[in-house]
Amino acid sequence: MKNIVLALLLLITSVFIKTDTVVSRFKIPASYQQITVQPGSFAQWLQNRTLKPAGTPTRTYTGTIARTNPYTAAVLNMSIGNQDLQQCADAVMRLRAEYLYSKKDYKAISFNFTSGFKCDFIHFAEGYRYQQSGVWKKQAAKDYSYASFLRYMNLVFSYAGTLSLDKELHQVTNANDLNIGDVFIKGGSPGHCFIVMNVVINKVNHQKRFLLAQSFMPAQNIQILQNGSPWFSLDEPAQIPYGELVSAAYLKRF
């Protein structure tokens, strides 16, 4: 009897409670329409990231309210760990790697350290561990679990950043081609970056507006940003910290 009741409750929940996602929460501006994305693409995956309940503040890895909280439009429902690791470039790499991991495209999960060392998930999952001398050494058993994936990401966060990610990404030469999954980035110490989470286009003049996400220092939740509106444009100044990077000059792509 308990199992029947539980099954009914789950059914009722699935019918009446709609999962809140990036694409479902934010109303498309008047005269705009959602751009078309390919099924199974990184763009579609980003659109469908689930969000924490509306009004949830952005918090740091220690649980304190983040200094970027005033710019919060939403908070992604994704872990940030308990170390000061998942900062701006790390959040972008985390999203890209999570997508590839969900597809079991393990060979594509690879990021370069600032030193130039290629840190790929296959080596880590096969039990190899990074040595300070810049080589892999077999030290553990094979493990492709999600927990192993998160440990791999912590390794990447420790040795990669905006400098290395900036070099890995490809310049978008035509700003009109801006798409979901593109990254506004400037490598440096400090550098910064944002990732495009959704894009809509004006039916008349074909102008695009987009949602941006970021992490920050110290490590914090990945937040969808806003400054009055969550919909940014290349034609208007982005009145947020590092908003000068929301420019065609800094637009890159995986």
Per the prediction, the chain carries an average pLDDT of 93
18 confidence band (pLDDT: 50, 70, 90): low
DSSP output for 44-71: HHHHT-BBPPTTPPPBBTTSSBPTTGGG
> 3-class SS at 195?
strand
pLDDT of residue 190: 85
| pTM > 0.85: yes or no | yes
Mention every residue, 6+ apart, whose C-beta is less than 8 A from residue 141: 127
Extents of the domains making up the chain: 22-253
Please name the helix (run of DSSP H) or strand (run of DSSP E) that holds residue 93, with its range, or none.
helix 88-102
Please name the helix (run of DSSP H) or strand (run of DSSP E) that holds residue 131, with its range, or none.
strand 128-131
* Cis upstream peptide for 218 (omega within 30°): yes
Tell me if 209 sits within 8 A of 200, measured CB to CB: yes
On the question of pLDDT at 180 being above 50, the answer is yes
